[in-house]
């Protein structure tokens, strides 16, 4: 991170890969942002910058850094890679935390369990300029993508045909809609759509409220 890049990021504002923090607020809240970036496309958190891009700076680089390191070590599971740098802007110190996209997804808020409990794990992803709780469908897809488990030799059944027919007239479909259209359980509808994503036939999208919908690949 250099001064020119930092100014450019501030001017662009918060986005899928950029988050501003006037100061370190709370371990869990910061962990949520870090986890969301690691689970999505990576990103940068700028400490000392307000939501509107105003430059406040941090009171102590050392204190801010220690809080960040404690958050990543004690509140994120599994371990997340990161880089920290410091840049002076308008006579104020900015702490830049860069989180690369992880190859070991999904990350979650530390729950001290030996393995991921999909029913209770707090897994976050980035949607536009927000960090939102991931659905069970998204968690499963993160798991398969991390393990590079593309679905091979996928056979098309009645439920899949319902999906294809529906998407010829509509832009997207949800598990709830498929369940009703195909007269199948919500769990089976969800599994069908997840498998179509794994087979690289459909794309999964997430709304700001964490709900998922599926569309044809574009």
* Domain CATH code at residue 44: 3.30.950.30
Flag whether 145 is in a domain. no
Smallest Cα–Cα separation from 142: which of 114, 107, 91? 107
**For the stretch 169-185, what's the b/e string if a residue is b when 16 or more beta carbons lie within 10 angstroms of its beta carbon?**
eeebbbbebbbeebebe
Flag whether 7 is in a domain. yes
Dist CA 87 CA 7 (whole Å): 10
What pLDDT score was predicted for residue 218? Answer: 66
Flag whether 16 is in a domain. yes
What pLDDT score was predicted for residue 39? Answer: 96
Dist CA 165 CA 186 (whole Å): 19
| Runs of H (alpha helix) within 13-156 | 27-39, 61-74, 136-146
Range of the domain at 200: 150-216
What pLDDT score was predicted for residue 1? Answer: 78
Dist CA 31 CA 17 (whole Å): 15
- Specify the DSSP class assigned to residue 56: -
What pLDDT score was predicted for residue 132? Answer: 94
The verdict on 89 and 188 lying in the same domain is no
Number of domains in the chain: 2
Flag whether 98 is in a domain. yes
Flag whether 52 is in a domain. yes
The verdict on 122 and 204 lying in the same domain is no
| Runs of H (alpha helix) within the chain | 3-12, 27-39, 61-74, 136-146, 158-169, 175-182, 186-198
Residue 157: CB partners within 8 Å, gap ≥ 6?
none
Task: Evaluate whether 86 touches 21 at the Cβ level (below 8 Å).
Answer: no
What pLDDT score was predicted for residue 49? Answer: 96
The verdict on 129 and 91 lying in the same domain is yes
What pLDDT score was predicted for residue 148? Answer: 62
Q: Which two tokens stand for residue 213?
A: 């919908």
pTM: 0.84
Flag whether 138 is in a domain. no
Q: Which ranges of the chain have pLDDT less than 50? A: none
Flag whether 140 is in a domain. no
What pLDDT score was predicted for residue 151? Answer: 65
| Helices and strands (DSSP H and E) totals, the chain | 7, 10
Flag whether 194 is in a domain. yes
Rounded to the nearest angstrom, the gap between the alpha carbon of residue 205 and the centroid of all alpha carbons in its chain is 11
Neighbours of 218 (CB within 10 A): 4
The verdict on 154 and 126 lying in the same domain is no
Task: Tell me the backbone φ, ψ of residue 114, rounded to 5 degrees.
Answer: -70, -25
């Amino acid at each position: 991170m250099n001064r020119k890049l930092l100014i450019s990021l501030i001017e662009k504002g918060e986005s899928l890969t950029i988050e501003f923090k006037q100061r370190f607020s709370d371990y869990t809240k910061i962990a949520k942002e870090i986890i969301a970036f690691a689970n999505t496309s990576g990103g940068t958190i700028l400490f000392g910058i307000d939501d509107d891009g105003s430059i406040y700076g941090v009171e102590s680089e050392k204190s801010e850094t220690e809080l960040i390191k404690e958050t990543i070590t004690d509140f994120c599971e599994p371990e997340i890679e990161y880089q920290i740098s410091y840049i002076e802007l308008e006579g104020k110190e900015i702490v830049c935390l860069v989180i690369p996209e992880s190859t070991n997804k999904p990350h979650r808020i530390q729950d001290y369990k030996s393995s991921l409990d999909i029913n209770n794990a707090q897994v976050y992803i980035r949607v536009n300029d927000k960090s939102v709780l991931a659905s069970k469908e998204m968690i499963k897809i993160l798991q398969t993508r991390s393990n590079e488990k593309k679905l091979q030799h996928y056979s098309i059944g009645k439920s899949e045909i319902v999906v294809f027919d529906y998407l010829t007239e509509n832009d997207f479909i949800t598990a709830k809609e498929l369940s009703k259209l195909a007269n199948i359980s919500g769990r089976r509808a969800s599994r069908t759509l997840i498998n179509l994503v794994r087979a690289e036939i459909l794309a999964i999208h997430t709304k700001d409220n964490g709900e998922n919908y599926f569309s044809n690949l574009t």
